[in-house]
Amino acid sequence: MSVEVVTFGCRLNAAESEVIRRQAASAGLDDAVVVNTCAVTAEAVRQARQTIRALRRDHPRRRIVVTGCGAQTQTQTFAAMPEADLVLGNAEKLDPAGWAKARAALAQPHGPKTVVGDIMAVRHTTPHLIDTFAGRSRAFVQVQNGCNHRCTFCIIPFGRGNSRSVPVEAVLADVRRLAANGYREVVLTGVDITAYGADLPDAPRLGTLVKRILKDVPDLARLRLSSIDSVEADRDLLDALASDARLMPHLHLSLQAGDDLILKRMKRRHSRADAIAFCASVRRLRPDIALGADLIAGFPTESEAMFQNSLALVEECGLTHLHVFPFSPRPGTPAARMPQVARDIVKDRAQRLRECGARALQQHLDGEIGATRRVLAESRQAGRTEQFTKVQFATPAEPGQIVDVTIAAHDGKQLIAA
């Protein structure tokens, strides 16, 4: 029996689940089910608890270990669940010593139910030598973890600690290994990757790292970035975007809102004008670029006029891939203590923002018809373009391979190849 890992949340959690699978197995916990939770929204925590109860029903005798940001930030909530055998911290989940403690705790009839350390005390992030990703055609490489910012709505720093970077040579070794193992696309992931390197000797920036990867790993066909903070994007990064076709023309921006007063109350580091100017400049540098963004609807004190500024930002920045989050108060964050917008208004605004995003995506898809696109096959039936737009194949392709297709049509959500 192999270790089963149930993953919630972001690409970083997905990358870490591959490490968890191996660490738990090496610790001899091969009958375990590990739930790698997310804490970004109350809904994510609710879904994790629901899954744990279902797992216990389906597997009455298997060990259930709960880890991830939910376990780190709401340890007692999960420890109080009779269905869970152990709650393991976010640093411990990646550490052989953490799994040794977990095994010892699980071996005792009335052992401790939590093995959760102080995440703020963690200073390093260990490279994890991952060479395959089960069932995936693209590989995630963690380059950074944690965050030094304290946006007022965000629980992540309390789940992942302060920012720390993986040394450049270790990242290069990971990318080389994955490229040698046939991965055509690598996604650099972390929590705040534009803060990359600030804690390393010589303080290399994300752009430095990207340029090193593109130069030192010539076999890698496609390098993609996970979310970035536009206001922290460095000159080398923009230069690489402008000059190297192997850096994918797709940026997902952590914008969060389109109103300056709301951005101030969120403690974000950019203004509305900064966001618009950044999008215009990267579009000049790389005309085929697709831009996505995270946007929150219904942040405390947000008026209808302020919300209209977020709606208008979609067009003014030329965004096509939106991730819309209805505001979710996270216990312990300053925004949870601010005057809240009524839930029905939050839900309504999120729906209107999604509809706005769907219209923008439709325009993007219309513009793709007739184009020839290089697509990384994620399955025999479908894949993604360099702009990260989904494509349905007309003829089956080999997962993991890059194929050239001509776009014939779309169904409002994805492109259809000729």
Task: State the nearest-atom distance from the C-beta of 216 to ligand SF4, in Å.
Answer: 29
SS3 string, 321-353, reads EEEEEECCCCCCCHHHHCCCCCHHHHHHHHHHH
Task: State the nearest-atom distance from the C-beta of 267 to ligand SF4, in Å.
Answer: 8
Task: State the nearest-atom distance from the C-beta of 197 to ligand SF4, in Å.
Answer: 16
Binding mask 205-244 for ligand SF4 (x = CB under 6 A): ----------------------------------------
Count interface residues toward ligand SF4 (CB under 6 A): 10
Q: Which stretch binds ligand SF4 (CB under 6 A): 120-128, 149-157, 169-177, 306-314?
A: 149-157
Half-sphere exposure for 84 (CA within 13 Å, toward CB): 28
CA distance 105 to 209: 40
Question: Does 157 contact ligand SF4 by CB under 6 A?
Answer: yes
Block residue for tokens 């991952």: 130
Comparison of 231 and 261: residue with beta carbon closer to ligand SF4: 231
> Which residues, numbered 118-147, are part of the site for ligand SF4 (CB under 6 A)?
147
Torsion angle of the four alpha carbons 115, 155, 328, 52, in this order, in degrees rounded to the nearest 10: -20
Cβ neighbours of 67 (radius 10 Å):
31
CA distance 417 to 366: 13
Task: State the nearest-atom distance from the C-beta of 154 to ligand SF4, in Å.
Answer: 3
| Interface with ligand SF4 (CB under 6 A), residue from 10, 191, 240, 251 | 191
> Which residues, numbered 250-289, are part of the site for ligand SF4 (CB under 6 A)?
254
Distance set, CA 6 to CA 13, 297, 308, 364 (Å): 10, 28, 38, 33
Comparison of 65 and 353: residue with beta carbon closer to ligand SF4: 353
Question: Does 192 contact ligand SF4 by CB under 6 A?
Answer: yes
| Interface with ligand SF4 (CB under 6 A), residue from 156, 193, 346, 405 | 156
CA distance 40 to 37: 10
Q: Which helix (H) or strand (E) holds 281?
A: helix 272-285
Residues that bind ligand SF4 (CB under 6 A): 147, 149-151, 154, 156-157, 191-192, 254
